[in-house]
Structure 1
Amino acid sequence: MRFQHTTTYDAPAAEVFAMLTDPTWREKVGIAQGVVSSTVTVTPDGPDGTGSRVVIDQVQNTAGLPAIAKKIAGDTTRAIVTEVWSSPSTGTIEIVAPGKPTKATGTVSLESDGTTTRHVTDLEVTVKVPIVGGKLENLMADNIRKGLEIEQAVGVAWLEGGR
């Protein structure tokens, strides 16, 4: 299933990119999302070194998920989010849960409009489970959306100086 989410920040794209590639900010997002544990790695990337590779390896609590989802995921589930920014404005994203039949892949981009920046996440969400796969894709997309909404709240505070 296709999933798209746009977050808008009242900040120039360079500031938003710096935030998105700051390990401290990523750790704050994980805390706000209630993850059990998280490791964040950021390394330079891209053809000219202006991009970044951001890897977030986290354990998430599955409390509140429907029984069918918990049966697949367990009480906690590991998610690895990899963003590869080939430049400060565009990149790819992959979300995998090792050993689980779920995956989301797509693109991330920053679109500047003066002092406002849109952070666009465009994903193809896939859950390979017979019969209930579509329902689980919707559930996964909804969880991603909730995570991105928390990320935005932390981002707004960060850009306003709440570091």
Structure 2
Amino acid sequence: MATKLRHTITCPFGMSAYVAALSDPEYWATLAVGTPDAPGELESTDITDTAAEIHLIQRIPSDKLPSAVSGLISGDLSIHRGVELTFDDADHTTGTFDAVVSGAPATVRGTINASGTADETTVEFSGTVTVRIPLVGGKIEKMIAANLTDLFDAERDFTVAWHEEHR
């Protein structure tokens, strides 16, 4: 059984600035670097005027993993993430996101729906987290879903800082 994931973020700038950030390969390269607790790397970007496809890897060192996860996986945790976006028009962007945990039966899939005005952009994430491990899968799904909402918030903060630095 999958755990539902729903989260909304708001950026204090319009859709054109949001799309400008997401259209910049350097934005994704910098975002992918992550933090010491979750370092990462950019695998690829394919960005045009109307769409973007991004693939990145995030790693969580084994000493930073919760015991519920470290008991199931040996070594660091590698998460392969993908984002596909379509810049529909000046006020709307849609897309999908997914993540697969290497060496574990865990997947995340969902949609992205961003809309904006001249002064604000709202991004809605909706999806599912699935962990195919009997008895404890649901508990791990809930933990991953909670971590994803934290990630979406952190990436919003990164995007706001990026916008301030690159306007």
1:90 aligns with 2:65: no
2:27 — aligned with what? 25
Residue in 2 aligned with 1:108? Answer: 112
Q: Equivalents in 2 of 1:78, 1:64: separation in Å?
A: 12
Does the CA-based 8 Å contact 1:83-1:92 persist in structure 2? yes
TM-score normalised to structure 2 length? 0.84
- Aligned residue pair count: 160
Question: Which ranges of 4 or more aligned residues in structure 1 deviate by more than 6 Å?
Answer: none
- After TM superposition, the structure 1 stretch with the greater mean CA deviation from structure 2, 34-43 or 80-89, is 34-43
Check conservation: 2:32, 2:42, Cα contact below 8 A: no
**Residue matched to 2:53:** 53
- Residue identity over aligned pairs, in percent, reads 23
- 1:36 correspondence with 2:39: yes
* Residue in structure 2 matched with residue 66 of structure 1 by the alignment: 66
SS of the aligned residue for 1:36 comes to strand
Task: Tell me by how many angstroms 1:125 deviates.
Answer: 0.6
Contact 2:83 2:98 (8 Å CA) reproduced: yes
Equivalent-residue separation in structure 1 for 2:156 and 2:35 (angstroms) = 11
1:110 Cα offset (Å): 1.1
The AA in structure 1 aligned to 2:76 is T
Give the drift of 1:18. 2.3
Would you say the 8 A contact 2:40–2:56 is kept in 1? no
Query: Contact between 2:23 and 2:47, CA under 8 Å: does it hold in 1?
Result: no
Please state whether the residue corresponding to 1:131 is helix, strand or coil.
coil
Q: TM-score, normalised by structure 1?
A: 0.85
The residue that corresponds to 1:118 in the other structure is 122
